[in-house]
Amino acid sequence: MDQNDGQAAFNELRKQQAARLHTWLQGMIASTGEPDMLIIGDLNSYGEEDPLDTLRAVGWQDQGQRFHGYDDYSYRLGGQRGRLDHAFANAAMATQITGQDPWHINSDEPSFLDYNMELKSPEILAMNQGTPFRSSDHDPVLIGIRLTIPEVNYAGWQAARPWSPGSGTAPLDDPDADGLVNLAEFAMNLDPEGPSASLHPQILSQAGELRVRFRRHLQALGVRIIAEWSPDLIEWSELTPQDTPLPFDARTEWIEARLPTTDGTRRGFTRLRFETVP
């Protein structure tokens, strides 16, 4: 029975479903440490129905409304059109979305071209072969995303990793027995359970200079890598990194620091110290 409230059937149930979806996604954020969340697809509600207002009320941002206002649609029925297919982003994800557009390959096309094969002649079935048109009764939604990598502390990195059963996950554990404890692997963006010797700190000779090279995890919070040298393993001095780090990938850069060689020193030792910071 139509209640004349502007809502489709089972409105209260769909509002509850929207609330439960929000609760579940908050749990996913807490358990994975991943803050960027995007709800996409056929949500079985038009743009101004209550279930979508339920999502808006708890902070989900309607990307269709953001980029197109109210002049947007993804479905037609009985000569009327509306928006049933959506993209809702939380605040962390919304800043990384560059655009949203429905791809009108279905809703505007005649039904005789569609995927239903019954009551169609071979001639009609042959009319729409090898095209994307009328592959569904809804239009797909295209979303432009330019991702940024969030910062993470050791606890978040530890929680997000798929550790092997029985592996030590504490900061000073060394599950792969490579001489680097987990805190060091985190600080240098290495795999704490896999071989990565080629990515370990290195001593290089370049143009008559000796340099220590090491990786730095760009998004790592709460840890600092300090390169030091000593002539006698007793007195240690901090080395100054070169001005321009060398990019490795989106999460990592190489840092180089020059060892002093102009004071007559014939022997030296280097080390990396990993210091936790607030």
User: How confident is the prediction along the chain (278 residues), in pLDDT tens digits per residue?
Assistant: 557 777 778 889 999 999 999 999 999 988 877 889 999 999 999 999 999 999 999 999 999 999 999 888 999 998 899 999 999 999 999 999 999 999 999 999 988 888 888 888 888 888 878 889 999 999 999 999 998 888 899 999 998 888 999 999 999 999 999 999 999 999 999 999 987 778 899 988 777 778 899 999 999 999 999 999 888 899 999 998 887 899 998 899 999 988 866 556 566 788 999 999 98
Pairing of strands 85-89, 38-42: antiparallel
Fold observed for domain 154-276: Immunoglobulin-like (2.60.40)
Separation of alpha carbons 143 and 102, rounded Å: 9
Where does CATH 2.60.40.10 sit in the chain?
154-276
Q: Residue 30: enclosing H or E segment and its boundaries?
A: helix 11-32
pLDDT at 127: 84
pLDDT at 46: 93
> How far, in Å, are 40, 76, 241 from residue 84 at the CA level?
11, 10, 55
**Beta strand residue intervals within the chain, DSSP E:** 38-42, 61-62, 75-77, 80-82, 85-89, 97-102, 141-145, 202-206, 209-217, 223-230, 237-238, 246-249, 252-258, 269-276
Residue 141's closest CA among 60, 68, 48?
68
Q: Do 77 and 126 contact (CB within 8 A), yes or no?
A: no
Separation of alpha carbons 212 and 271, rounded Å: 9
Q: Do 245 and 255 contact (CB within 8 A), yes or no?
A: yes
Separation of alpha carbons 177 and 181, rounded Å: 8
pLDDT at 126: 85
pLDDT at 263: 58
Q: Please provide the CATH number assigned to the domain covering 11-145.
A: 3.60.10.10
Where does CATH 3.60.10.10 sit in the chain?
11-145
Length of the chain measured in residues = 278
Separation of alpha carbons 208 and 204, rounded Å: 10
Burial annotation 58-67 (CB, 10 A radius, 16+ → b, else e) = eebbbbbbeb
Q: Is the dihedral of CA 109, 113, 114, 115 positive or negative?
A: negative
Tokens of 264: 């007559």
Secondary structure of residue 111 in the 3-state scheme: helix
Residue 115's closest CA among 134, 96, 90, 97?
134
Q: Tell me if the pTM is above 0.85.
A: no
